[in-house]
Amino acid sequence: MEKTSPSGAPWRNFYGRLKGKSLRDSQKGYMKDLEEIGLEGVDWESNPDRAPLDLAALFGGRPLWLEVGFGGGEHLVHQAVSNPGVGLIGAEPYINGVAMLLGKIRGAGAENIRVHPGDARDLMDVLPDGSVAKAFLLYPDPWPKARHHRRRFVTPEHLDPLYARLQPGAEFRIATDIEDYVRQAMEEVPKAGFVWLAERPEDWRRPWSDWISTRYEKKALREGRTPTYLTFKKPG
């Protein structure tokens, strides 16, 4: 019998940080914006039957893009402003990162973003199959110790539901500066059904044409690490 929490949700260990330093007063103010742009119906208490999200009501039929673990939100806001005809959902359990994103959304006036301030696995439960046109996994937690590699996103627990939620032909982008993360991604992502689109070294050495360097990437470059940009596709 599957272990469940008191709410009835499947038991899912969470290993990352949920909160860092205390939020500044301005950031606490930003958090109020979740009342407007936070996703409803993702948590088990409000949606125990796991009814799919009404994406048409959220985005008016616009294509949906998904960013898993948006960090400080630079890339998510950049894509939203650059692609007003797209609806974007960002999932991030780290509350300080959520506050930073909300501040950037206010500053940019982006109106096509919705936020899930929690575990992406819960979001996958309520996204309809074949609903996501593009997905991003940018500088995910590397979990460098070998015994922790099973916690990485590039494992079947995460990749299988992501594959199901993507549309045929959808693109899945991964950026990381950790060589062993690249190794695991190259082993596991194709196993999940994705096709790697690289044809020449420049395809994984150079960022995408619409890329904006995040604070995590800038830190990696300062410390002498080399980013890798992997582009996969769901066949179809």
Residue 30 lies in a domain: no
What's the CA angle centered on 178, arms 205 and 203, to 5 degrees?
Answer: 15
Alpha helices in the chain (DSSP H): 25-31, 34-37, 55-59, 74-82, 95-108, 120-126, 156-165, 179-191, 202-205, 215-222
What whole-number distance in Å separates Cα of residue 225 and Cα of residue 15? 25
- pLDDT reported for residue 12: 56
Q: Which of 33, 43, 141, 203 is catalytic?
A: 141
Residue 36 resides in a domain: no
Within a domain: 76: yes
The whole-angstrom separation of Cα 46 and Cα 56 is 20
What is the tally of helices (H) and strands (E) in the chain?
A: 10, 7
Report the CATH number at residue 162.
3.40.50.150
Q: Note whether residue 13 is domain-resident.
A: no
pLDDT at 205: 97
Amino acid at position 89, single letter? I
Whether 88 maps to a domain, the answer reads: yes
What is the pLDDT at residue 25?
76
User: Residue 149 is part of which domain span?
Assistant: 56-233
Report the alpha-carbon distance of residue 235 to residue 121 in Å, rounded.
Answer: 23
223 in a domain, yes or no? Answer: yes
Query: Is 35 within a domain?
Result: no
Q: Are strands 195-196 and 228-233 parallel, antiparallel or unpaired?
A: antiparallel
Q: What's the structural domain count of the chain? A: 1
Residue with tokens 């596991």: 188
141 is a catalytic site residue: yes
Residue 112 domain flag? yes
Q: What is the pLDDT of residue 8?
A: 60
Q: Which two tokens stand for residue 30?
A: 């930003």
Q: Supply 214's token pair.
A: 């995040």
Q: State the 10-residue block means of pLDDT for the chain, 236 residues long.
A: 55 57 76 92 92 96 96 96 98 92 95 95 96 97 84 94 98 97 97 97 97 93 96 97
Token code pair at residue 13: 């260990």
pLDDT at 88: 98
